[in-house]
């Protein structure tokens, strides 16, 4: 492991004014997104859609530091035969790869999940590195509900995240460590804070046990936020203040940066929360975005699978990327949302 090189990549992923595009939806997830815009999900339509994003020159070169790819996508070529990985590299962004294999039921823990994919991960990472991937992502899912999460679910998922991160660094790949506490329930922000604190503390304990170099990783957490069904929704200021307090209590300063997931927030909410956190300032790590749906919902709708809509889709993507890039510097304002090019 060359820690200096890992740290260099990690810092480039969280450079001020840029963030990570999460374009790693599984085939099942992107089918749901395509169903919503009446587009058949085929290998070709998925390729065409992602090629549209990666050829958005302004967005990719100015506002995107890296792209998380799905296994299918990293091996695909654009219509003209150029590997999609090369399109990303040519824009100045860093290619990355989702390496987990989804979730499965956790034995003896009803309603809880564990992420699979550690078997043969070392071999897969070598192939991804040769293809151009310089970072990877593994997502653990923690739900909040009656009597959950259990300590069992928190422990096994944190352990798997740490095993994955150690294997990545051995392969000279920067791991994005993503322990996601879901916002699907009716819990309030304080319950989210308490659960996320337990999850992050356990995750960093396991990372230390596995001897993961914190300087060569990125954390991708949820924000402290009330559940979607909560009777007590959170204000932008409360989300920002409590998320910063949470992170300061759990995340070592050695971590180069934190790239938030959007987790089902609306486009503008995800931007506003990130912006408010960066305005608080005086932080030991860089705060940016690693958004999927919050960057892509608008361009998907504008594109709708039609070649004549590619330019409109790219404009929508550029706008959302720019808004979040401004938020990563604390320079976003709600009035800018109406100034779409």
Q: Are 175 and 168 in contact (CB under 8 A)?
A: yes
Alpha-carbon distance 109 to 117, whole Å? 20
pTM assigned to the model: 0.96
Query: In this predicted structure, what is the pLDDT of residue 340?
Result: 56
Q: How many CA atoms lie within 13 A of 334 on its CB side?
A: 6
Query: What would you measure as the largest C-alpha separation in the chain, in angstroms?
Result: 53
Alpha-carbon distance 234 to 180, whole Å? 18
Is 178 a residue of the active site?
A: yes
CATH number of 3-338: 3.20.20.70
H or E segment to which residue 179 belongs: strand 174-181
Q: Which two tokens stand for residue 192?
A: 């989210």
3-class state of residue 56 by DSSP: coil
The CA-to-CA distance between both ends of the chain, in Å, stands at: 44
Residue whose pair of structure tokens reads 């949470």 in the numeric block? 246
Q: Which two tokens stand for residue 310?
A: 């590619």
Task: Report angle CA 270, 265, 39 to the nearest 5 degrees.
Answer: 110
One pLDDT digit (tens) per residue for the chain, 341 residues = 899 999 999 999 999 999 999 999 999 999 999 999 999 999 999 999 999 999 999 999 999 999 999 999 999 999 999 999 999 999 999 999 999 999 999 999 999 999 999 999 999 999 999 999 999 999 999 999 999 999 999 999 999 999 999 999 999 999 999 999 999 999 999 999 999 999 999 999 999 999 999 999 999 999 999 999 999 999 999 999 999 999 999 999 999 999 999 998 999 999 999 999 999 989 999 999 999 999 999 999 999 999 999 999 999 999 999 999 999 999 999 999 986 54
Q: Which two tokens stand for residue 272?
A: 């506003």
Is 331 a residue of the active site?
A: no
Q: Which two tokens stand for residue 31?
A: 């089918």
H or E segment to which residue 219 belongs: strand 218-219
H or E segment to which residue 276 belongs: helix 267-280
Strand partners, 286: 257
CA distances from 200 to 42, 157, 195 (A): 37, 11, 9
Cα 22–chain centre separation? 5
Q: For residues 121-145, b (16+ Cβ closer than 10 Å) or e, as one string? A: beebbeebbeebbbbbbbbbbbbbe
Active site residue: 18, 137, 220, 242, which one? Answer: 220
Active site residue: 25, 51, 112, 178, which one? Answer: 178
- Extents of the domains making up the chain: 3-338
């Amino acid at each position: 492991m060359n820690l200096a090189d890992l740290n260099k990549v990690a810092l480039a992923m969280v450079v001020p004014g840029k963030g990570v595009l999460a374009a790693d939806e599984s085939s099942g997830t992107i089918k749901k997104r395509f169903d919503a815009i009446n587009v058949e999900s085929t290998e070709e339509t998925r390729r065409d859609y992602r090629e549209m994003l990666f050829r958005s020159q302004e967005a990719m070169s100015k506002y995107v530091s890296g792209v998380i790819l799905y296994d299918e996508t990293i091996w695909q070529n654009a219509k003209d035969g150029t590997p999609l990985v090369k399109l990303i590299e040519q824009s100045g962004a860093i290619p990355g790869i989702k390496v987990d294999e989804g979730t499965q039921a956790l034995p003896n823990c009803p309603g809880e999940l564990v992420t699979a994919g550690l078997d043969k991960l070392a071999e897969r990472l070598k192939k991804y590195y040769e293809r151009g991937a310089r970072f990877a992502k593994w997502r653990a899912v923690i739900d909040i509900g009656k009597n959950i999460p259990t300590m069992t679910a928190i422990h096994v998922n944190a352990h798997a995240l740490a095993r994955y991160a150690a294997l990545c660094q051995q392969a000279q790949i920067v791991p994005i460590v993503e322990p996601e506490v879901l916002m699907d329930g009716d819990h309030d922000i304080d319950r989210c804070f308490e659960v996320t604190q337990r999850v992050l503390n356990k995750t960093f304990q396991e990372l230390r046990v596995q001897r993961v170099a914190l300087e060569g990783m990125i954390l991708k957490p949820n924000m402290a936020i009330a559940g979607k069904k909560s009777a007590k929704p959170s204000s932008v200021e409360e989300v920002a203040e409590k998320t910063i307090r949470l992170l300061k209590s759990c995340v070592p300063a050695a971590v180069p940066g934190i790239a938030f997931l959007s987790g089902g927030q609306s486009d503008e909410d995800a931007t506003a929360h990130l912006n408010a956190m960066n305005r608080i300032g005086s932080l030991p790590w860089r705060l940016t975005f690693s958004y999927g749906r919050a960057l892509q919902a608008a361009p998907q709708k504008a594109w709708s699978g039609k070649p004549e809509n590619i330019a409109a889709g790219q404009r929508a993507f550029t706008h959302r990327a720019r808004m979040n890039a401004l938020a990563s510097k604390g320079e976003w304002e709600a009035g800018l949302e109406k100034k779409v090019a």
